Amino acid sequence: MIGVLPSQQLETMIEAGQICAEPAIIPEQIQPASVDLRLGAKAWRVRASFLAGHGRTVADRLADFEMHQIDLTGGYVLEKGCVYVVELMESLDLPQGIQAVANAKSSTGRLDLLTRTITDGGEEFDRIQPGYSGPLYAEICPRSFSVLVRPGMRLNQIRFRQGQAVLSDETLTALHADTPLVDGDAVISEGLGFSVDLKPEQGDLVGYRAKPHTGVIDLDLIGHYDPAEYWEEIRTTSGQIILDPGAFYILVSREAVHIPPQYAAEMAPYLAMVGEFRVHYAGFFDPGFGHAAAGGAGSRGVLEVRCHEAPFALEHGQVVGRLVYEKMAQVPKQLYGAGIASNYQGQGLKLSKHFKVDAR
């Protein structure tokens, strides 16, 4: 079967030892089209981000870049602006026909916590070639907030696919005509384009900007922190905001997105020519995201935006990214938002799950 592998096939891979873990994978890690990866106890503070490179192991490169080794067992603060490598509890023994791609989980991206997967012999972040057999590591760089982590925390996730299943623009156009993928006109070019919402239907709150000097965030604490201590509210009535160089923003898409059960999607950056900013992305959208039968009527995509060298005026409706749709090998047994813990189904503008919803 060609396509992204659903939860039931992931369970089969786990039973076959193609996805391994110590301790064993727990049911909560298995998502509709991915597996959550857990931090192990062993970590390293390194002086620079790196890839292992062809023919070399991560352990080899750690000998070159390690500053000191860390035991996460009792909890450890990863400091803003530093780079860490953490051994993951999971490892892989992939057959030749299956490749994998990893990405940060939604809450990880919303904290501006740059988390990428690296492997032995890896020449790209987050991309794992068919037939790979070996350990997995997370490279973590907190960009806006220092965070307290412990073994077992799940910051990133991995998706497996067999063959090439990306939908062409022609197929995507036909799918949208049959099953609307956004609430409005679809901009389709190498995926489904989405734009930024700077004219909300109610009020003038359009986003949040991370404050530069804040306390530590314990990633185990849900609904705990007052947003005002970590974020500045961004308000406008003009449909325009000016992004500050180096600042990190949480914004929201104008479109409500729908991922039908037989498809998955990945958020990708738009053309670099659109401006002096980049939409960071915790990029996996599961089957059932925004799907009515799974508790959603279309869900907005939260945009994690960082401005680069020059201030940039962002306008309402400006296209800032695209969703690349892929066919599932099978419809998952469990859809996003239907009977599983899905923090962002039916979402609008929303911070990560660590912050109180009603605090202002």
The predicted-structure confidence for 163-176, as pLDDT tens digits, reads as follows: 989 999 999 999 99
The values of phi and psi at residue 323, to 5°, are -105, 125
For 176-184, what is the mean pLDDT? Answer: 90
pLDDT value of residue 294 = 42
pLDDT over 80 at 282, yes or no: no
Q: Say if residues 110 and 302 touch (Cβ distance below 8 Å).
A: yes
Q: Do 146 and 85 form a contact (C-beta atoms < 8 A)? A: no
Task: Give the mean model confidence (pLDDT) for residues 289-296.
Answer: 60
Tell me the pTM.
Answer: 0.92
Number of other residues whose CB lies within 10 A of the CB of residue 310: 11
Comparing 138 with 300, the larger pLDDT belongs to: 138
The tokens describing 75, both together, are 């909890």
pLDDT at 184 over 70: yes
Residue 178 has pLDDT above 50, yes or no: yes
More confident of the two residues 298 and 311: 311
Q: Which domains does the chain have, with CATH numbers?
A: 3-162 (2.70.40.10), 169-327 (2.70.40.10)
Q: Give the C-alpha separation, 360 to 126, whole Å.
A: 36
Report whether 241 contacts 206 (CB < 8 A): yes
DSSP letters spanning 288-342: TTT-GGGT-S-EEEEEEEEE-SS-EEEETT-EEEEEEEEEBSS--SS-TTSSS--
* pLDDT category of residue 359 using cuts at 50, 70 and 90: very low
| Matching residue, tokens 């990945």 | 266
The DSSP code for 163 is S
Lowest mean pLDDT among 17-21, 271-275, 353-357: 271-275
Q: From its phi and psi, is residue 288 left (phi > 0), alpha (psi between -120 and 50) or beta?
A: left
- The predicted-structure confidence for 67-88, as pLDDT tens digits, reads as follows 999 999 999 999 999 999 999 9
User: DSSP character for 126?
Assistant: T
pLDDT at 202 over 80: yes
Span 143-158, pLDDT tens digits: 999 999 999 999 999 9
Predicted confidence at residue 299, as pLDDT, reads 82
Averaged pLDDT for residues 19-32: 96
pLDDT value for 295: 45
